Homo-oligomer: A and B are copies of this chain.
């Protein structure tokens, strides 16, 4: 059931992403567009846009205003992966089972394709805003604000820098939580919150969703750490043990596999409680929450 839901939604998000890419004008060099599309359509699970769309769907009657936000956030996520994989950063050769962007297009084009995806994410969000009015526009702009803050210097990039500076540091769970919260947590939180904000939900609901998204954000990262050690390389599609290679500490290093799995399990329960607290009974969101907290390992 969740597989069908994901399959349908991935296809839907991909169609919109293709439309946006097709709108880029004809002057753009083929190589730049190819490099952007190579990573954008490298087989991502589209969890962030799907979370955003499904939360938005739960609170609203129209999806029209959530589509550009969902595609914008996926472009921003994709740019962060391209730059993260660069030789000066994590120096990874594979991502989602394919060669990383710079291995195919060269470092210079990979840097620019990343820049272009970040910029284009903003473009498609802002381009939609000029056609709105009244409360629709007000909520929509606040949703963009949530996303741009989350992806920025005081959000995701803080996590990336802290991650770099943390290499070879001692095992310190506070630092690790800080990195996880910023590096992956902020954009997941923004996916959830902007989906709700764009529909003008109450502050009480937002408060619950902040807590909800923190739980699934952390669970998502711990599951990723577990998969990095025990996962099936073909299934994950990137080099396993990359954390070990990069001397990065993870939950698994500190707590071991079993304890890490039980932490994820607790986080999932708490996340589901927060959904219940704000009266979200949408079974797709509940299943999606379970999926995020329990990807195969």
Judged by DSSP, the binding face of A is helix
Could you tell me the distance in whole angstroms from the C-beta of A154 to the nearest C-beta in chain B?
A: 5
| Chain B residues with CB below 8 A from A178, complex form | 27
Docked pose: A33 CA to B24 CA in angstroms:
33
Q: Please tell me if the beta carbons of B129 and A141 are within 8 angstroms of each other in the complex.
A: yes
Interface residues of A (CB under 8 A from B): 24-25, 27-29, 31-33, 36, 79, 83, 86, 88-89, 106-109, 111-112, 114-120, 122-123, 126-127, 129-130, 137-138, 141-142, 144-145, 148-149, 151-154, 157-158, 160-162, 164-165, 178, 182
Q: Please tell me if the beta carbons of B28 and A158 are within 8 angstroms of each other in the complex.
A: yes
A31 and B116 in contact, given A126-B145, A130-B145 (Cβ under 8 angstroms): no
Contact of A165 among B29, B129, B149 (CB under 8 A): B29
Q: Please tell me if the beta carbons of A108 and B130 are within 8 angstroms of each other in the complex.
A: no
Q: Please tell me if the beta carbons of A27 and B126 are within 8 angstroms of each other in the complex.
A: no
A29 and B148 in contact, given A109-B164, A153-B116, A164-B109 (Cβ under 8 angstroms): no
A112 and B161 in contact, given A119-B151, A126-B145, A130-B141 (Cβ under 8 angstroms): yes
Could you tell me the distance in whole angstroms from the C-beta of A106 to the nearest C-beta in chain B?
A: 8
| Chain B residues with CB below 8 A from A148, complex form | 119, 122-123, 126
| Chain B residues with CB below 8 A from A33, complex form | 153
Contact of A153 among B36, B108, B152 (CB under 8 A): B36
| Chain B residues with CB below 8 A from A107, complex form | 88
| Other A-B pairs, 18, CB within 8 Å; known A115-B157, A119-B152, A130-B145 | A24-B153, A32-B157, A88-B108, A108-B164, A115-B115, A115-B118, A116-B153, A117-B153, A118-B118, A118-B119, A123-B145, A123-B148, A123-B149, A123-B152, A126-B126, A126-B145, A129-B141, A130-B141
Docked pose: A145 CA to B129 CA in angstroms:
9
A158 and B83 in contact, given A142-B130, A153-B120 (Cβ under 8 angstroms): no
A111 and B89 in contact, given A119-B152, A120-B152, A152-B116 (Cβ under 8 angstroms): yes
Docked pose: A158 CA to B164 CA in angstroms:
30
| Chain B residues with CB below 8 A from A120, complex form | 152-153
| Chain B residues with CB below 8 A from A130, complex form | 138, 141-142, 145
Docked pose: A210 CA to B113 CA in angstroms:
27
